[in-house]
Amino acid sequence: MTHYREIQVKRENILDTRELELPQPALAQGQVRLAIDKFALTANNVTYAVAGDMIGYWNFYPREDGWGVVPVWGIGEVVESAHPGIAVGERLYGFYPMASEVVLSFDSAESDTLMESTPHRQALPGTYNAYRRTAADHQFLQQMEAQRCIFFPLFATSYLLYDFLLDNALFGAGQVLVGSASSKTAYGMAKLLHGDASLNVRLVGLTSAGNLEFVESLGCYDSVICYGNEDQLDTSVPAAYVDMSGNAALTAAVHKAFGEQLKVSTAVGATHWQSFGGDVSSLPGPAPEMFFAPSQIEKRDAEWGRGEVLRRAGEATAELVQAVSDTVTIEQIDDVAAAASAWRDLVDNRVAPSRGLMVSL
């Protein structure tokens, strides 16, 4: 029996990892084995780990004894198939474990997007159960697999945030404050808002001193303020706050500065995971709420027709990738131990926003 490699994370302390060699399971009817050719590691994955129990990310690839597998976006190639409609050699883009391979189950294989059908995954958001046959995509998309893995999940969320704000008329705000403004999801959203000629809104990025120059170079924020200088914010203008960091201290500072002038407080990510989920119940202004992208997708599917919002998100994402391609250097990691180390760096916020991490185990 041959083995495959997997990186597991301690659920109670996501800095703690272990690298395992596990026996390959045999295939049942309707299953396929995919060699995971490549996957991205981004701050998005840290959010999956931090919110793993809240939203259910640990349940995609459940493990025992307090360990879990963090889902990642990647490309897999079918190397063995027990499904008559899925051929060896097909490449699928989707939600994978941090591993060298995975076994997935599919009922129907009649469309270009396959839906994973393992029973325990059916209660989880369908967005994460969809696997795209890359051969059905435009040639330009097939040629940018790394960019697709790194940017598309992040920029798709950027578009959904942009759409969420527009859908609610910016909640009456005249400025949008963005915590952890250097994150890819943050500046993707900011570029969409900044580039929308129909809007009259000011974009304010909040970031660390070390990322200040990078954030200013993006050209999508009207002003950039370092953490600790929240007294420089213009509290006379009603604001919408989009928190990409999960930094409870920053959220508290923004709420206390604006009070009722803060019209909405939306938490998206957890780049500062150590302070994620602090007590915000007594803060002035609106109660912070977690943004859940599948909810916005479901809303737009009902209003626009199934798949339309993701089509628009895909178009916006492709444009954003071209716009920021010069700002990010893609780095390849081909070793299990190095990949686990990169994960810990990411969790500790030691990966510069100008780096894009691609892993192949």
Domain ranges of the chain: 3-137+328-359, 150-295
Q: How many CA atoms lie within 13 Å of 226's alpha carbon, on the beta-carbon side?
A: 8
CB atoms within 10 A of CB 224: 21
Burial label for 67, CB within 10 Å (0-12, 13-18, 19+), is: middle
- Per DSSP, 46 falls in state H
Q: Within 10 Å of residue 230's Cβ, how many Cβ atoms? A: 19
Digit-by-digit pLDDT tens for the chain (361 residues) are 599 999 999 999 999 999 999 999 999 999 999 999 999 999 889 989 988 887 789 999 999 889 999 999 999 999 999 999 999 999 999 999 999 999 999 999 988 989 999 999 998 888 899 999 999 888 877 888 999 999 888 899 999 999 999 999 999 999 999 999 998 899 999 999 999 999 999 999 999 999 999 999 999 999 999 999 999 999 999 999 999 877 888 999 999 999 999 999 998 865 444 444 555 667 898 988 888 888 899 899 999 998 899 889 888 988 888 888 788 899 999 999 999 999 999 998 899 888 999 999 9
Q: Identify the burial level of 301 via C-beta atoms within 10 angstroms of its C-beta, where 0-12 means exposed, 13-18 middle and 19 or more buried.
A: middle
Which tokens hold the place of 66? 């307090």
Residue with tokens 């991490």: 357
Q: What is the C-alpha to C-alpha distance for residues 193 and 263, in angstroms, rounded to an integer?
A: 17
What the block records as the tokens of 244 is 């990409």
Within 8 A by CB and 6+ apart from 82, the residues are 27, 28, 29, 30, 31, 32
155 contact partners, CB below 8 Å, separation of at least 6: 184, 185, 188, 313, 316, 317, 320, 321
Instruction: Tell me how far the alpha carbon of residue 324 is from its chain's centroid.
Output: 17
Q: Which CATH number fits the domain 150-295, given the four candidates 3.30.200.20, 3.40.50.1460, 3.40.50.720, 3.40.920.10?
A: 3.40.50.720
Instruction: Give the whole-angstrom CA distance, residue 35 versus residue 160.
Output: 31
**Distance in angstroms (rounded) separating the CA atoms of residues 158 and 186:** 7
Closest CA to 116 of 138, 98, 144, 95: 95
Give the per-residue pLDDT at 86.
97
Give the pLDDT score at 275: 47
Give pLDDT, residue 272. Answer: 45
Rounded-to-integer distance, Cα 93 and Cα 270, Å: 25
- DSSP bridge partners of 20: 6
Q: Which residue reads 């198939």 in tokens?
A: 81
pLDDT of residue 349: 84
Residues 360/332, Cβ–Cβ less than 8 Å: yes
Which CATH code is given to the segment(s) 3-137+328-359?
Answer: 3.90.180.10
pLDDT at 274: 45
Kind plus residue range of the DSSP H or E element containing 223: strand 223-226
Check for a shared fold between 3-137+328-359 and 150-295.
no
The dihedral formed by the CA atoms of 239, 240, 242 and 245, expressed in degrees to the nearest 10: 30
Judged on CB neighbours under 10 Å (0-12, 13-18, 19+), 283 is buried
Q: Is the pTM of this model over 0.85?
A: no
Q: How far apart are CA 137 and CA 293, in angstroms?
A: 23
CB 80 within 8 A of CB 33: yes
C-alpha–C-alpha distance, residues 273 and 243, integer Å? 12
Closest Cα to residue 179, out of 143, 228, 120, 113? 228
Report the distance separating Cα 182 and Cα 203, nearest Å.
13
Helix (H), strand (E) at residue 21: strand 13-23
- Which two three-digit tokens encode residue 152? 């598309």
